[in-house]
Amino acid sequence: MNKNKSKSVSMGLATALALVTIMSGCSSKNEGNAGASQSPSGTASQAASESASASASVEPADPLGKYDPPIEVSVIRPYDENVKFIEGESATNNLWTQKYEERLGVKVKYDWTLQGPIDQYYQKLNVAIASNDLADIMVVNSAQLKQLAEAGQLADLTDVYKSYASDFTKKIFSDDGGVALNSATFGGKLLGLPRIGSDIDEVPLLWIRKDWLAKLSLPEPKKMADVEKIAVAFATQDPDGNGKPDTYGLGLSKDLNGGFPGFEGFLNGYHAYYNTWLKDASGQLVNSNIQPEMKTALEALQKLYAAKAIDKEFGTKDGNKIAEAVTSGKLGMYYGAMWTPIWPIQDGRNLDPKMDWQPFQLPSSDGQPAKGQVPFDVPSSQYYVVRKGVEHPEAALKMLNFFYDFNYIKGDKADAKYDGIETFKYIILAGAPITENLDVYRKAKKLFEANDIESMKTAREGQLAVVAKYLEGDEKSWGYYKVFGPDGSYKVIEQMLDQNLFLRSEYFGPPTPTMGEKNSTLDTLVKETFTKIIMGAAPIEEFDKFVANWKQLGGDQITKEVNEWAASR
- The answer to whether residue 552 is domain-embedded is no
Question: In the structure, what pLDDT confidence band is assigned to residue 511 with cuts at 50, 70 and 90?
Answer: confident
Quote the CA–CA distance of 493 and 285 in Å, as a whole number. 27
Q: CA angle, 109 as apex, 105 and 113 as ends, to 5°?
A: 135
4 touches 447 (CB < 8 A): no
Parent domain of 12: 3-37
Share of the chain above pLDDT 90, in %: 75
My answer on whether 405 and 492 are in the same domain is no
- The answer to whether residue 320 is domain-embedded is no
432 touches 201 (CB < 8 A): no
My answer on whether 86 and 144 are in the same domain is yes
206 touches 66 (CB < 8 A): no
My answer on whether 55 and 186 are in the same domain is yes
- Give strand pairing partners of 112: 76
Residue 308's Cα: distance from chain center in Å?
Answer: 32
My answer on whether 82 and 187 are in the same domain is yes
Quote the CA–CA distance of 192 and 373 in Å, as a whole number. 25
Question: In the structure, what pLDDT confidence band is assigned to residue 128 with cuts at 50, 70 and 90?
Answer: very high
My answer on whether 57 and 117 are in the same domain is yes
Q: Which of the listed residues 471, 497, 523 is the one where a domain comes to its end?
A: 497
> How does the average pLDDT of the chain come out, rounded?
88
The number of domains in the chain is 3
- The answer to whether residue 210 is domain-embedded is no
- The answer to whether residue 524 is domain-embedded is no
> What pLDDT is recorded for position 13?
52
> What pLDDT is recorded for position 519?
92
My answer on whether 67 and 187 are in the same domain is yes
> Could you read off the pLDDT of 391-432 as tens digits, one per residue?
999 999 999 999 999 988 886 655 667 777 888 889 999 998
- The answer to whether residue 176 is domain-embedded is yes
My answer on whether 8 and 55 are in the same domain is no
198 touches 14 (CB < 8 A): yes
- The answer to whether residue 318 is domain-embedded is no
My answer on whether 60 and 182 are in the same domain is yes
- The answer to whether residue 447 is domain-embedded is yes
> What pLDDT is recorded for position 561?
96
My answer on whether 75 and 186 are in the same domain is yes
Question: What does the DSSP assignment read for 207-253?
Answer: EEEHHHHHHTTPPPP-BHHHHHHHHHHHHHS-TT-SSSS--BSS---
My answer on whether 154 and 90 are in the same domain is yes
Cα dihedral 510, 515, 521, 523 sign: negative
> What pLDDT is recorded for position 21?
30
- The answer to whether residue 517 is domain-embedded is no
> What pLDDT is recorded for position 51?
42
Domain of 415, CATH number, reads 3.40.190.10
Q: Count the helix, strand and coil residues of the chain and give each as a percent rounded to the nearest 5.
A: 50, 10, 40
My answer on whether 81 and 192 are in the same domain is yes
Which of the two residues, 433 and 545, has the higher pLDDT score? 545
> Could you read off the pLDDT of 31-90 as tens digits, one per residue?
333 222 333 333 433 444 444 443 334 456 899 999 999 999 999 999 988 888 988 999
> What pLDDT is recorded for position 1?
41
Question: What is the chain's length?
Answer: 569
Q: Which of the listed residues 497, 522, 543 is the one where a domain comes to its end?
A: 497
Is the pLDDT confidence value at 29 over 90? no
> Could you read off the pLDDT of 298-344 as tens digits, one per residue?
999 999 999 999 999 999 999 999 999 999 999 999 999 999 999 99
My answer on whether 154 and 97 are in the same domain is yes
Quote the CA–CA distance of 363 and 221 in Å, as a whole number. 7
